[in-house]
Structure 1
Amino acid sequence: MIQSLALAAITLLLLAGAIELWWGSALRLQQRKSLESIEQRLVTHQPAERRMQPPPLPGQRKRALLQSADGLLMRADLPPNRAIYAVIACFGLVLALLAWWRISSVLAMPLVLGLYSALVWLWLRRRIEKQQQKLLAQLPDFLDGMIRMTSVGNSLPMAFQTTTKSVAMPLRSLLDRTLSSMHAGADLDQALALATRPYHLEELSLLHAVLGIGMRVGGRSDHILQRMGDFMRDHAHARAELKAITSETRMSAWVLALLPVAVATFMTLVDPVFFKPMFYEPLGHKFLLVALVLELTGGLLLYRLAKSL
Structure 2
Amino acid sequence: MAWLLGLVTLACLIAGGVLLHRGVRQAASERVLYRLTSGLPVAQKGAKQRWLQRELLRAGFHLDGGRLGLWLGIWLFLALLGGLLGGWPFLLVMAILPPALMRLYVAWRYRLRVRRMIEQMPALLDHVIRSLKSGRTLGDALLLAMENAADPLHTAFARSRRNIDRGMALEDALDDFAELYEQDEFRILALGVRVNQRYGGNASELLENLIVMIRDRERASRQLRAMTGETRISALILGCLPISLAIYIFITNPAFLLGLWADSMGKLVLLVAFLLQLAGSFLMWRMLRSV
What is the CA–CA distance in structure 2 between the aligned matches of 1:279 and 1:124, rounded to whole Å?
A: 36
The answer to whether the Cα contact below 8 Å between 1:99 and 1:112 also exists between their aligned partners in 2 is: yes
Aligned to 1:151: 133
Q: Could you tell me which of 243, 246, 254 is aligned with 2:228? A: 246
Q: CA deviation at 1:101?
A: 5.0
Does 1:212 pair with 2:194? yes
The equivalent residue for 1:295 is 277
TM-score (norm 1): 0.66
C-alpha RMSD over aligned residues: 3.5
- How much has 1:147 moved relative to structure 2? 1.2
The alpha carbon displacement at 1:157 in A equals: 0.9
Say if 1:198 and 1:84 are closer, same or farther in 2 by CA, change over 3 A: farther
Aligned position for 1:73: 56
1:181 maps to which residue?
163
- 1:253/1:302 contact within 8 Å kept: yes
- Contact 1:76/1:124, CA 8 A, preserved across alignment: yes
Among candidates 96, 102, 106, match of residue 79 of structure 2 = 96
Counterparts of 1:293 and 1:93, CA distance in 2: 20
Alpha-carbon distance in 1 for matches of 2:141, 2:221: 29
**Alpha carbons 2:132, 2:138 under 8 Å: kept:** yes
User: In structure 2, which of residues 81, 90, 99 is the aligned counterpart of residue 117 of structure 1?
Assistant: 99
Q: Report the Cα distance in structure 2 between the residues aligned to 1:129 and 1:84, rounded to whole angstroms.
A: 24
Work out whether residues 82 and 94 of structure 2, in 8 Å CA contact, stay in contact via their aligned partners in 1. Answer: yes
**Change in 2 beyond 3 A, CA 1:135/1:276:** same
1:191-218 deviations in Å (ceiling 9; x for gaps): 1222443222221122111100011011
Indicate conservation of the 8 Å contact 1:174/1:196, yes or no.
no
Equivalent position SS for 1:186 = coil
Q: Percent of aligned pairs with the same residue?
A: 26
Q: Distance in 2 between matches of 1:192 and 1:272?
A: 60
- Alignment: residue pair count: 246
Aligned to 2:154: 172
Whichever residue aligns with residue 200 of structure 2, its letter is G
Pairwise CA distance, 1:170: 1.8
Structure 1 stretch displaced more, 222-231 or 239-248: 239-248
Asked if the contact 2:89–2:271 (Cα under 8 Å) also holds between the matched residues in 1, the reply is no
Match of 2:116? 134
**CA shift for structure 1 position 125:** 1.9
TM-score by length of 2: 0.70
**What is the alpha-carbon distance in structure 1 between the residues aligned to residue 255 and residue 286 of structure 2?**
34
Indicate the residue corresponding to 1:162 in structure 2.
144
Distance change in 2, residues 1:78/1:116 (3 Å)? same
- Shift in alpha-carbon separation, 1:297–1:76, aligned structure 2, 3 A: closer
CA distance in 1, matches of 2:78, 2:153: 36
Kindly indicate whether the alpha-carbon contact (under 8 Å) linking 1:178 and 1:192 is maintained by their aligned counterparts in 2.
yes
The one-letter amino acid paired with 1:198 is: L
The amino acid of 2:58's aligned partner reads: R
Question: Structure 2: 5+ residue runs without aligned partners?
Answer: 1-42
Give the aligned residue type for 1:75. Answer: R
| Farther-moved stretch of structure 1 (211-220 vs 272-281) | 272-281
Letter of the aligned partner of 1:194 in structure 2?
A: D
Greater mean deviation of Cα atoms: 219-228 or 234-243 = 234-243
- Give the Å deviation of 1:129: 1.7
- Say whether 1:256 aligns with 2:264: no
Equivalent-residue separation in structure 2 for 1:208 and 1:261 (angstroms): 45
**CA–CA separation in structure 2 for the residues paired with 1:82 and 1:255:** 39
| Larger mean Cα displacement after TM superposition, 88-97 or 106-115 | 88-97
Q: Is the 8 A contact 2:160 2:173 kept in 1?
A: yes
Give the gaps of 5 or more residues in structure 1: 1-52
Distance 1:279 1:240, change over 3 A: farther
Q: Secondary structure at the match of 1:165?
A: helix
Q: Which amino acid aligns with 2:79?
A: A
Higher relative contact order by CA 8 Å / sep ≥ 6: 1 or 2? 1
1:214-229 alignment runs, 5 A limit: 214-229=196-211
Superposition deviation, residue 303 in structure 1: 2.9
